[in-house]
Chain A
Amino acid sequence: MKYLDEFRDGPKAQKLAEQIRRMVTRRWHIMEVCGGQTHSIIRYGIDQILPPEIELIHGPGCPVCVTPLETIDKALAIASRPEVIFCSFGDMLRVPGSQGDLFTIKSRGGDVRVVYSPLDAVRIAQREPDRQVVFFAIGFETTAPANAMAVKLAHRLGLKNFSLLVSHVLVPPAIEAILNSPHNRVQAFLAAGHVCSVMGYWQYPPVAKKYRVPIVVTGFEPLDLLEGIRRAVAQLESGRAEVENAYPRVVSYEGNQAAQAVIHEVFTTTDRVWRGIGRIPRSGWRLRECWAQFDAECRFGLQQLQVEESPVCMSGQVLQGLIKPPECPAFGKQCTPRTPLGATMVSAEGACAAYYNYGRHRQVPVSQ
């Protein structure tokens, strides 16, 4: 398949791995920020072909995983209302809240629908004017432009029955939070290519400079990831701390300015709680006051909810890269994708699910 197969080429991947092997002189910890990158690394076994000195730490870049429990509980409360059609991306449906998940609500008669775009939810609102249509607007900077467009479209259509439950999170403040943590082990970052396709990478040079940390904008295919890792290792080995773009076929320095404009027209920065990590200042987006009529939290008058996380789940430490999923005592035992205790086990991009689904909890001897 064009644009994919050429980035999955086995011999080229081995060649890049060999270059990294020749370059590396000591142990390095590199964090891939995005859950999509984690998925790819485990899916293709990229960590298996890297030299043992390179440890990849899986970052908090899975929007499903970091959406706070309180927001999930709000989604469950809204979706339970008889007048509501609750629209969501598919992988949010199995994320456990305090009392079940969206599948549970659906089985009890809640109208929960999987959509592929918030614009589909707007169309449902148009078709069903007597129902309240709520879209679960979660995600990083990548999904924000479409959500902003949906709000503007609903406004233009004069829809009074469309709203968003917003829980947007932002990558750069999360990177800074990790770097500020006293437990931080990350020495270089692979920045999330899709986020940068929207936002560019103009936000990163001050971070690289302030914390003396290499940041390489990286894609998602095996060769993209290996090239990102190669550049990060090259910087680490030569003592540089710069921002590099290893995904230029998609990402530019400025990013998609039209998308950024529509985001800033609709959203404003806010503090956000990250599930398993805690509150990070100015790390999220919420609807601006002038768009409050499209805010599901206002529309349904949801109060602060009291929530309690599973006491055994260590997803917070997984999300911060402090432990690998199998180091959690619940991993693969009480906690499996069928019985997830934390969101990292639910989403395909969650580090725990990636480890579980690709069998990293089992020792697999394979004769070559």
Chain B
Amino acid sequence: MNQNRDSVQMQGPVCPVPLRQYPEVVLGHGSGGQLSQELIEHLFVPAFDSPQLRQLGDAAVLSVNAGPVAMATDAFVVQPLFFPGGDIGCLAVHGTINDLAMMGAMPVALTAAFILEEGFSMETLAQVVRSMAQAARKAHVPIVAGDTKVVQRGHGDGCYITTTGLGVVPSGVAPAPQKAVPGDVILINGTIGNHGMAVMSVRQGLEFESPILSDTAPLHLLVQRILEVCPQVHVLRDPTRGGLAATLNEIAQAAQVGILLDEQNIPIQPAVQSACEMLGLDPLAVANEGKLIAVVPPQDAPKVLQVMREHPLGRQAAQIGQVVADHPGMVVARTPIGATRVITTQIGEALPRIC
């Protein structure tokens, strides 16, 4: 890989005031003046390195095939900025790609807006930008435009990123939560709770024998595989904040159907399960960043499950439940001892229990 793309050029031939004179972000970096220009020329353009960005116009001009397009935007404020398995940079790329992918769209391009706090380390910013660039390149989705603002020290939390994405939706593809019907099968592409517990373990200074890694990943290529074998997939959703519990409740309410889960079939890594037990959290309510729920007609379930398992992001894919006509609007789980419980959406932030 080209070294220049992946590292910050702290000093360049066109720059009278090299970035290295500013080891930290100053208000001027968001002023639109020379310092802003340097940041763009020495950091963002070389890292993201897309033809559109190099034009440095007010907007990127893209050519897309006619037909429905999807747009999505997502803001990222995660703390800490770096966590096991990822960081705010790759998360910002994956998050918006996944929002597009859940509409069945093939992402075409992303834009990125940075809100930086005065005093934020330039080297840390460079690390975040590098990670974003790498994630975008791996996903084959260019970052084509951006913006940077700097807020006064104490008015931000280091670095916030908002990404917006554009994607093309293949004709005939239109997954939507309202489309779930009784009889449908619910599939997930792997273990739940990894992202939330990875972030939480760093925040709380918890250490486990095997570290819990965030599952942050771009899901659009997996979705393409699913669409190849099941273009009429009824629902695709990524269970991010609020976890599986929130996503399934949204589907049940949107379609006015019931959802019956088999708790024992939901894949959970032992380390995530232990961490949740320790902190008194329900893994069903913990965030994921590389997971999708596919609600498919029963006859399509075996082949969808097979293509999921053949994909690197779906090795542990599982059938976790079904859509039923009973209890519309509600998600019910069979517990390991053969009883049932209702799964509700968490109210706010998950609160760890006392004992």
A4-B277, A359-B330, A367-B326 are known contacts. Are A116 and B352 too (CB-CB below 8 A)? yes
Q: 8 Å CB contacts to B: which residues of A6-44?
A: 8-10, 13-14, 36, 42-44
Q: A13-B338, A43-B341, A44-B335 are in contact. Are A364 and B353 (CB under 8 A)?
A: no
| A301 part of interface (Cβ distance < 8 Å) | no
Task: Give the contacting residue for A42; candidates B277, B337, B341, B348; CB below 8 A.
Answer: B341
Q: In the bound complex, how far is the Cα of B274 from the Cα of A194, in angstroms? A: 18
Distance from A367 Cβ to chain B, minimum over Cβ atoms (Å): 6
Q: Is the CB of B354 within 8 A of A138?
A: yes
Tell yes or no: A231 within 8 A of B by CB.
Answer: no
A13, chain B: closest CB distance, angstroms: 4
CA distance A1 to B283 in the complex (A): 14
CB contacts (< 8 Å) of B338 on chain A: these are: 10, 13-14, 45, 49
B125 at the A interface (CB under 8 A): no
- Residues A358 and B354 in contact in the complex (CB < 8 Å), given A365-B327, A367-B326: no
- Stretch from A89-97, A250-258, A285-293 that touches the partner: A89-97
| In the complex, chain B residues whose CB is within 8 Å of the CB of A116 | 204, 279, 352
Q: Interface size on A (CB < 8 Å)?
A: 47
With A337-B347, A338-B347 known as contacts, the answer to whether A364 contacts B340 (CB < 8 A) is: yes
Separation of A103 and B20 alpha carbons in the complex (Å): 42
- Tell me, yes or no, whether B236 is within 8 Å of chain A by CB: no
- A64 within 8 Å of B by Cβ? yes
Q: Which residues of A contact B335 (CB under 8 A)?
A: 43-45
Interface membership of B355, Cβ < 8 A: yes
Task: Write out, one digit per residue, whether chain B residues 273-314 have a CB within 8 A of any chain A CB (1) or not (0).
Answer: 110010110000000000000000000000000000000000
CB–CB A49/B327 < 8 A:
no
Interface of B is mostly: loop
The answer to whether A114 touches B352, judged by C-beta atoms less than 8 angstroms apart, is yes
Residues of the A chain whose Cβ atoms lie less than 8 Å from the Cβ of B204: 116
| Residues from 311 to 368 in A contacting B, C-beta threshold 8 Å | 337-338, 347-349, 356-360, 362, 364-367
A55 to B97, CA, bound (A): 52
Residues on A with beta carbons closer than 8 Å to the beta carbon of B280: 91, 348
Task: Decide: A365 and B326 in contact? CB cutoff 8 A.
Answer: yes
With A4-B277, A44-B335, A116-B204 as given contacts, are A143 and B341 in contact (CB-CB < 8 Å)? no
Contacts of B336 in A (CB 8 A): 8-10, 13, 44, 222
Q: Give Cα distance in the complex from A104 to B104, angstroms.
A: 41
A63 within 8 A of B: yes
Determine whether the beta carbon of B341 is less than 8 Å from that of A90: no
Asked if A91 and B351 sit within 8 Å, CB to CB, the answer is yes
Given A4-B277, A8-B336, A48-B339, A357 and B344 contact (CB-CB distance below 8 Å):
yes
Answer yes or no: A46 CB below 8 A from chain B CBs: yes
Q: Which residue of B lies closest to A4 (CB)?
A: B277
Check A364/B274 contact, CB under 8 A, given A46-B337, A94-B351, A348-B353.
Answer: no
Known: A366-B326, A366-B327. A93 touches B340 (CB 8 A): no
**Alpha-carbon separation in the docked complex, A14 to B339 (Å):** 10
Q: A139 an interface residue at 8 Å Cβ cutoff?
A: yes
Q: Does B59 contact A (CB under 8 A)?
A: no
User: Measured between C-beta atoms, what is the minimum distance from A256 to chain B in Å?
Assistant: 15
Residue of A nearest to B337 (CB): A13
Residues of A within 8 A of B273 (CB): 1, 4
Residue numbers in B under 8 Å from A360 (CB-CB): 342
Taking the closest CB of chain A, its distance from the CB of B341, in whole angstroms, is 4
Q: Would you call A44 and B332 a contact (CB within 8 A)?
A: no
Q: Least Cβ distance of B211 to chain A in Å?
A: 17
Contact A359 B344 (CB under 8 A): yes
Tell whether A80 is near chain B: CB-to-CB under 8 Å: no
In the complex, what's the smallest C-beta–C-beta distance from B249 to chain A, in angstroms?
A: 11
A63 to B280, CA, bound (A): 15
Please tell me if the beta carbons of A1 and B274 are within 8 angstroms of each other in the complex.
yes
Query: Are B352 and A90 in contact, CB atoms less than 8 angstroms apart?
Result: yes
Query: In the complex, what's the smallest C-beta–C-beta distance from A121 to chain B, in angstroms?
Result: 14
Determine the distance from Cα of A333 to Cα of B343 in the docked complex, in whole angstroms. Answer: 19
Complex Cα distance A116/B355, Å?
Answer: 10
Contact at A142–B355, with CB atoms within 8 Å? yes
A residues touching B (Cβ–Cβ < 8 Å)? 1, 4, 8-10, 13-14, 36, 42-46, 48-49, 63-64, 89-94, 114, 116, 138-140, 142-143, 194, 222, 337-338, 347-349, 356-360, 362, 364-367
Name 13 interchain pairs, CB-CB below 8 A, sorted by A: A36-B355, A42-B341, A89-B353, A90-B353, A91-B280, A91-B354, A93-B351, A116-B279, A337-B347, A362-B330, A364-B340, A366-B340, A367-B324
